[in-house]
Amino acid sequence: MPEITAHHGLFKDTNLHVDDTGGPGRPVVLVHGWPLSGEAFAAQIPALQGAGYRVITYDRRGFGRSNKPSKGYTYDTLTEDLHTLLETLELTEVTVVGFSMGGGEVARYFSKYGIERLRSVVFASAVPPYLMQDEGNPDGPLTKEAAEEMTAGLTKDEESFYDGFTRDFFSVDGELKVTEQQRQEALALCRQADKKAALACMEAFGTTDFRDDLLRVTVPALILHGDGDGVVPFEGSGKRTHDALPGSDLHVIQGAPHGCNVSHADEFNQALLTFLQK
């Protein structure tokens, strides 16, 4: 699939790498987590395509095979990239699946662009409603001290940071829930990330408040989360998002880490397919 160019006024045009299975099926757009790429959905694409869906993934600006500009890493800009993709491919009746950081683009989309192109959405291991813990958000699962530690670690040594991060990404209580090969594949995707983009996006997903965005979600929604997620804990994120969306579906994967789409791919895929068939 050729690249799509996102235009942002004062920002330089940014080419986004897109993979599109094509076909007449209803479109499902998968928005990846930080600091990976669209390739992180390798376990989902065959299952969705086999069920007759048109599956589209793309690499967020600054990551994977997309351009890596020096600016443009706020959620407003990142969500504009998603909207550009939907417009360029002329997609309607879309289900958008936002994994981890990608859940932020899904939430912000409703505030910026409404529901015209959307059929439904999925928040998978997702960061909304608001990660950062402060006086106005005491249930936020990310403390300022932990955020500062992450920033310092990535700034100092990318290789060491990503090695530790991928272990946390796929572990529950210190036990790795994927094969070492699967962890190494994720680590290889991390290494494609631009450091400046990774730091800017770390700040974005940690400090952006999506509570007002969630109030605008009026299409069917699925919250899909592992109960052993130590990166974006269920109680402070998925559960709160489910509570904020009356009528939303909830599927909690028992014993699953943050990267549940890899560690528990069969259950993840089945929950997603069941929701899509409604």
Residues taking part in catalysis? 100, 229, 258
Q: How far apart are CA 251 and CA 41, in angstroms?
A: 19
Q: How far apart are CA 108 and CA 244, in angstroms?
A: 15
CB 81 within 8 A of CB 197: no
Interhelix angle 180-190/158-169, nearest 10 degrees: 130
Taken as a whole, the chain contains a residue count of 278
| Token digits of residue 126 | 């997702």
Closest of 262, 74, 90, 72 to residue 183, by C-alpha: 262
